Structure 1
Amino acid sequence: MKLVIALVVLVVGSLLFHVLSPWWFTPLASNWHTVDTTVDITLYITGAVFVAVNLFMAWAVYRYRHRPDQRAHYEPENKRLETWLTVITAVGVAAMLAPGLVVWADFTQVPEEATPVEVVGEQWQWSYRFPGADGVLGEVASRYVGPDNPFGMSPADPAGADDILVSSNELHLPLDRPVKLLLRSKDVLHDFAVPQFRVKMDLVPGSVSFVWFTPTRTGRFDVLCMELCGIAHYAMRGQVVVDTQDDFDTWLGSQSTWADISSQPAGDPDAGRLAYATCSACHGPEGEGNPAMNAPALAGLETWYLERQLRYYQQGVRGAHEQDNLGAQMAAMAATVAAGSAMRNLTAYIASLPAADSDATVEGDPHRGAAHFNTCGACHGRLGQGNHALQAPRLAGQQDWYLKRQLENFRRGIRGTHGDDNFGHQMVLMARSLQNEQSIDDLLAYVNTL
């Protein structure tokens, strides 16, 4: 009897949870209402089977319970029953599969007027490419990918010159216009998904997949990677912003084209020498850093990382937290650096300075720290040499007192919590995986050996 009651309670509880549960579909924001219908059909069919099977089990356990005065009738074959079960099962499976096939047929038929937009996935960020005035996306190839060409644009294809490159996790799209997303991965398997649009598709290295949809309401919607793509998979987030046509045109017009980016001259270290005079007052004449001034070493850092940090200070991404007094000082100094060639010249000069050895200031166990560094090395390199592809700066040779302060800032939310600091978000999660101060000291003791 206990089993009978348990089965009945299971059925009733499941039905009540379905009816009363607040967790259901996110509000639809695209044309794919048929996906919801398909899921509903599947849920109703499987739900009916779940209820029928469990109630039948409860009835059978009660009806045919053991009785000393009764003997079971052994019937291993029942052709009539097997026929009915086969037919009912076939009808149920067909009823679940057929709607999906109809929706998939629509899913693969992209409207001719759909605007192509490329989505590029990489550990652990998204970026996007729009066609320019010619309406054609230029050729790309992995062999062209580099620090100055993250999209892998082909220098020999003139169609790519007006392509609009968006190096941001935020994608803007116009309202009520169909869009075809061309999905490309630069490293491992990813999956582009926007729950409110009811679309998701794998990004397979070496091939281009696609999805299409029409946004039906304005707003901001989360982009998720729904494929386990590495240690920071959970932090690979982005947003789709659906704008009115005027707002979208304004946003698109503010983005840079490949021609704009590729025509920028490289930084001139000689021109940046004079600009560095202000920096040297704290960071030292050779960028060696000055602990007394709380100024870290700059020599040995890459230009792309230096430029990003300067922009972050200028934009308030760094140095704006109320507890970041030292960052606030740096924000004021960064504001004096003009964008464009002046910033490139300055960072080119800093990158030309020879990295100097720094004295260890923390005491820890390098052996234990090596285990902690296994996670760090996935981004920053096995030898802490940095990795531009993952936007991870060099750690080897950096001053341990500064690294310790930054790890503590990440752990406390002083750094990395700004909405536009995508890489900082990942570092917050990584830093908080260190259990205590001793773990940090052990890690930095190991970094000092690199």
Structure 2
Amino acid sequence: MIVAVIMVVIVVASVAFHVFSPWWFSPLASNWGYIDNTLVLTFVITGAVFAAVVLFVAYCLYRFRHQEGRKASYEPENKRLEGWLTALTAGGVIAMLTPGLFVWAQYVEVPDTATDIEVIGQQWLWSFRLPGADGKLGAADNRLIGGDNTLGVSPNDPLGQDDLLIEGGELILPVDKPVRFLLRSVDVLHDFYVPEFRAKMDMIPGSVTYFWVTPTKTGTYEILCAELCGVGHSYMRGTVTVVTDEEYQEWLTSQSTFASLSS
């Protein structure tokens, strides 16, 4: 009886803590509100299942508690009950996974108007490469990294000569403009993550991964590494500031090109 009461208290306390908790997502600052909705749906479904299972166990503990003269009956199987449990479980899994598939389809479908920005991760620093006047990024290869070419930009690709390089500095983005982040790691696994953008992706050495986002609010946000990448992992932080398009264009003119740094 005491155990049943404790289980009911656990359910009530868990639901109350979730509903009235002061901790929630950081304020959304991108187009990925779909991700928030999908997570909330997952919380609701898993929370309902948690409450139902625990309360059912509590009910069974009370309803079938030991009483003098009562004997347990042996029932090896109940096909009707098994059918209901299978159908409800399948329905819950489908309800959780289906929205995520639709969100993922949007996540990997980059708008044609998106600007490519390369993010380079290394222990324990964020660097960035933006297209110059030609609007295109030149080729890059980790094997080209050296003392005078720290980001591995190909000196033989004319498209890369006007690329803008930001090593360990602040990234500026225009508001309401889609951006595709091309992610490259020069050493170990990293993960580029801005909590307010809700979007992130692993950075795998030897590969170029990507995701896209449209910043929707001006402001300054922290860049985190969401993949354990070594003893300095917690210090691998950067800053991205979302500004108006006029401020963004003005900022671009003050950045150094690959040609100017390598000459």
Which range, TM-score by smaller chain? over 0.9
Q: Percent identity?
A: 58
The corresponding residue for 2:151 is 151
SS at structure 2 position matched to 1:22: coil
The corresponding residue for 1:134 is 134
Within a 5 Å distance, the mapping from 1:137-216 to structure 2 comes to 137-216=137-216
The corresponding residue for 2:95 is 95
Choose between structure 1 and 2: higher helix proportion.
Answer: 1
| Residues 264-285 of structure 1, C-alpha deviations (whole Å, 9 max, x = no match) | xxxxxxxxxxxxxxxxxxxxxx
The corresponding residue for 1:68 is 68
2:163 partner letter:
D
Within a 5 Å distance, the mapping from 1:12-411 to structure 2 comes to 12-263=12-263
Separation (CA, whole Å) in 1 of partners of 2:255 and 2:5: 64
Separation (CA, whole Å) in 2 of partners of 1:213 and 1:200: 10
| Residues 161-219 of structure 1, C-alpha deviations (whole Å, 9 max, x = no match) | 00000112421100100000000000000001111000010000000000101000100
SS at structure 2 position matched to 1:256: coil
Separation (CA, whole Å) in 2 of partners of 1:99 and 1:34: 9
Separation (CA, whole Å) in 2 of partners of 1:66 and 1:215: 61
Question: What is the TM-score of this pair, normalised by structure 1?
Answer: 0.58
The corresponding residue for 1:430 is none
SS at structure 1 position matched to 2:51: helix
Separation (CA, whole Å) in 2 of partners of 1:249 and 1:201: 27
Separation (CA, whole Å) in 2 of partners of 1:169 and 1:36: 29
- CA contact 1:119–1:128 (8 Å) conserved in 2: yes
Separation (CA, whole Å) in 1 of partners of 2:262 and 2:169: 21
1:250 partner letter:
E
Separation (CA, whole Å) in 2 of partners of 1:34 and 1:131: 29
- CA contact 1:7–1:54 (8 Å) conserved in 2: yes
Separation (CA, whole Å) in 1 of partners of 2:143 and 2:42: 45
Separation (CA, whole Å) in 1 of partners of 2:41 and 2:205: 34
Separation (CA, whole Å) in 2 of partners of 1:143 and 1:108: 28
Separation (CA, whole Å) in 2 of partners of 1:169 and 1:13: 45
Choose between structure 1 and 2: higher strand proportion.
Answer: 2
Shift in Å, 1:19: 1.4
Separation (CA, whole Å) in 1 of partners of 2:204 and 2:169: 19
The corresponding residue for 1:9 is 9
Unmatched runs of 5 consecutive residues or more in structure 1 = 264-450
Separation (CA, whole Å) in 2 of partners of 1:19 and 1:44: 11
- CA contact 1:169–1:237 (8 Å) conserved in 2: no
Shift in Å, 1:58: 0.6
Unmatched runs of 5 consecutive residues or more in structure 2 = none
CA 121–148 in structure 1, closer or farther in 2 if over 3 Å, else same? same
| Residues 88-126 of structure 1, C-alpha deviations (whole Å, 9 max, x = no match) | 000000000000000000001000000000000000010
Q: Give runs of ≥4 in structure 1 deviating > 3 Å.
A: none
| RMSD across aligned positions (CA) | 0.7
Shift in Å, 1:68: 2.6
Shift in Å, 1:225: 0.3
The corresponding residue for 1:379 is none
SS at structure 1 position matched to 2:61: helix
- CA contact 1:29–1:217 (8 Å) conserved in 2: yes
2:257 partner letter:
T
The aligned length equals 263
Separation (CA, whole Å) in 1 of partners of 2:200 and 2:155: 32
SS at structure 1 position matched to 2:206: coil
Separation (CA, whole Å) in 2 of partners of 1:88 and 1:112: 41
Structure with the greater alpha carbon radius of gyration: 1
Shift in Å, 1:5: 1.1
